[in-house]
Amino acid sequence: MRFEVTVEVPAGRRFLWTGARPQCWGVVGVVHDGLPWFCDASIQLIGRDQLNPGETGIGLLIPLTPSLWTQTRPGHRLELRDGDQVLARVRVDGVRGDAPA
């Protein structure tokens, strides 16, 4: 399962590179036991190796544990976080491979 995404790196943050394996993708507005729900995925940028602060691009999110992503659909918004800092924002544009049930 892979998710086609639009990626935005907010101004003033670090760059995001293809192959990055952050473990803090949070689904905006989704909580579990009162806490934000986070899961892990690597990112593969399309057509470039990195996004600098303030830039937007497209890519694929590749879940490391696909069973945690079964409810993710086009239109969902995700945030890559480091504590309270948002390092990147993602909009899911499509699903590739085994689509969620």
Cα separation, 66 vs 59, in Å, equals 17
Direct distance between the N- and C-terminal alpha carbons of the chain, in angstroms, rounded to an integer: 11
Hey, CA dihedral for 44, 74, 70, 13, is it positive or negative? positive
pTM of this prediction exceeds 0.85 = no
Cα separation, 65 vs 55, in Å, equals 28
The reported pLDDT for the residue numbered 10 is 77
Regarding the domain with residue range 2-96, which homologous superfamily does it belong to in the CATH classification?
Answer: Translation factors (2.40.30.10)
Cα separation, 2 vs 77, in Å, equals 15
Which residue do the tokens 């995700």 mark?
A: 78
For residues 32-59, average pLDDT? 81
pLDDT tens for each residue of 60-98: 888 887 887 887 889 888 888 776 777 788 888 998 775
The reported pLDDT for the residue numbered 47 is 92
Query: In the chain, where are the structural domains located?
Result: 2-96
